[in-house]
Structure 1
Amino acid sequence: MMDNVSVVKMFILSGLNETNNYRLTLFTFTLLYYCVILFLNISLIMIIILDENMHEPMYILLCSFCINGLYGTTGFFPKFLLDLLTSSQQISYEGCLLQAFVMYSFACCDLSILAVMAYDRYLAICRPLHYHSVMSKRRLSQLICFSWLTPFCIFSVNVLLTSRLKLCHFKIQRIFCVNWMIVKLACFDADTLSNNIAAYITIVIYVFHGIFTIWTYMHLVKTCVRSKEDRVKFMQTCVPHLTSLVIFILAMFFDLMYMRFGSRDIPQSLQNFIAIEFLLISPVINPLIYGFKLTKIRNRILGLVYIKRK
């Protein structure tokens, strides 16, 4: 009787099989794109940290949002760039589980932060007289810890359940490791029931995150149509958040649907794009949207540009 432990020590990522003819070009553009992500997010983080006028809940949550963007993209891009320079795209068993953890926790941390940001905007616009008493430093700290620790704890359980499986295959049809794809490599007699239960519980938890955010925005819209001042506040502070939310939900929805029900007959390049669009779009669009739409950040950026010109 074999122990219920994986004998696989290395995985092969087969998502780059059709890129042999243009890997150097892809490496160049990917490296430039990753540098843009680092520049935009680090710039926004530093602006918020260094400007005391932005030490407010909305901007601190935005800073946490950008930090999460750096966390998630760092879990993918360095390994992907290395794979583009090597002939065989291998990753160790432990490294694969770690990358799967980072990818999942990054995505769900984004959704948790978006839910907390929606709650913050709800208090600011719908209950302005109670905002400062409710959104205290202690409450803000609790909400930030919730948005980070919840996905970390949930996906620690998911990855631990995966680590106990005996795997009989080692080829992952992706350019990075995904927990569900690792579970699909389990031997026929492996017990994956607990993995499936944990996966569906996780989905339910984050569906409720989404429902809460939608419910919050229903109240926001209902409140903002009553006065011109509230409509202006909504356009300035809520539209960037709503845009980020829509982009994120669409990206994750397409990826989840494809991973569960997608056909393998579509081109490999399209499969790769569907898999990583949440890593390509959100980390660039988010700092750009908030940088241009939020008045304090925009004025700070314009002030820095003006000083440099002088």
Structure 2
Amino acid sequence: MMENVSSVRSFVLSGINETMNYRISIFSLTLLYYCVILFFNISLIAVIITDENLHEPMYILLCSFCINGLYGTTGFYPKFLLDLLSSSQEISYEGCLLQAFVMYSFACCDLSILAVMAYDRYVAICQPLHYHSFMSKRRLCQLVCFSWLTPFCIFSISIILTSTLKLCSSKIQKIFCVNWIIVKLACPDTDTSSNSVFAYLTIFIYVFHGFFIIWTYMHLVRKCAKSKDDRVKFMQTCVPHLISLITFLVVIVFDLMYMRFGSADLPQSLQNFISIEFLLIPPLMNPLIYGFKLTKIRNRILCLVRGGRK
């Protein structure tokens, strides 16, 4: 195990300072929003687990998608809510590295799951006769493990590299910990080249994920253009995936571009909103889109609602 050479033992999250005058209002709204995220994601997971008719690859992957949403938001909202009630917004060195790990692995796990879901739709529509042999329980298990273990392994190494840096500042201009920001706090004489190389390698891996998704949809669109039945299947099962994908890419790319090249002259509250978009929009939008759009899930939810009324 690499020895931690940093003398910094805690960080100050200064991004929250401007919002402290409205902290009770922000706390109430944030708590309500987090409860709504928990409710919709847990509800969708419970519906899929309890209904044997939904024990199909597409729905199992959706279940994994929602579990990842819970994982990522739990890494942010509880700590943020505590900070709103606290007079000092500090986080321990180890806690900061853990939160950075959760944030990065959550975002990249989302993209990995979206790539696996794209492959599932490609096989289902373009090679329907081979679907059940291709998407066997064993293959599904391997794909789910891939979508989770890949980002976990990548960012474990990234965080270990960060933990070896000597830091000369403990002030983070955000409301949560970000690995790239921690690396920027390294002392001038500290070598961060290995962190940069690994960061570019990570970007390459997930850009490849993106190209794979584009490749699958090129085949899907070409196949669906020839058949009315395939077009109906595409509209029912691929449109929610496309909406989730586009939303995820927009908020993540926007955040990354701002973090690397954005201006520090923007109001802190706007900077905070930009930085947490990926924790605000996808975790709530995804279960709503799939819940309303996928017929089997919608019908199951309606049955539960009607049964509850009786």
Q: State the TM-score, normalized to the length of structure 2.
A: 0.98
Q: Which residue of 1 aligns with 2:301?
A: 301
In the other structure, the counterpart of 1:211 is 211
TM-superposed CA distance for 1:227, in Å, is 1.2
Post-superposition offset of 1:4: 7.4
Aligned to 2:15: 15
Whichever residue aligns with residue 280 of structure 1, its letter is: L
- 1:33 and 2:33 aligned: yes
Following TM superposition, by how much is the alpha carbon of 1:17 offset from its aligned partner in structure 2, in angstroms?
1.0
Relative to structure 1, the CA distance from residue 21 to residue 308 in structure 2 (aligned partners, 3 Å threshold; closer, same or farther) is same
Q: Secondary structure at the match of 1:91?
A: strand
Task: Note the C-alpha offset of 1:21.
Answer: 1.4
Q: Which structure 1 segments of 5+ residues have no match?
A: none
1:110 corresponds in structure 2 to 110
Amino acid at match of 2:306: Y
Are the counterparts in 1 of residues 14 and 171 from structure 2 also a CA contact under 8 Å? yes
Give distance in 2, aligned partners of 1:308 and 1:17: 45
Give the aligned residue type for 2:266: I
C-alpha distance in 1, partners of 2:19/2:26?
8
How far apart in 2 are the matches of 1:16 and 1:175? 6
Aligned length: 308
User: Partner residue of 1:283?
Assistant: 283
- Partner amino acid for 1:176? F
Which runs of 5 or more residues in structure 2 are unaligned? none
CA contact (8 A) 1:4 1:190 kept: no
Mapped partners of 2:305, 2:143: distance in 1: 34
Alignment of 1:1-310 (within 5 A): 5-310=5-310
Partners of 2:195 and 2:73 lie apart in 1 by 26
Where do 4+ consecutive residues of structure 1 move more than 3 Å?
Answer: none
Q: Considering only aligned residues, what root-mean-square deviation do their CA atoms show, in Å? A: 0.8
Identity %: 78
Q: Is the 8 A contact 2:12 2:89 kept in 1?
A: yes
TM-score by length of 1: 0.98
Shift of 1:309: 1.5
Contact 1:236 1:294 in 2 (8 A): yes
Alpha-carbon contact 2:174-2:272 (below 8 Å) kept: yes
Are the equivalent residues in 1 in contact too, given 2:105–2:155 (CA < 8 A)?
yes
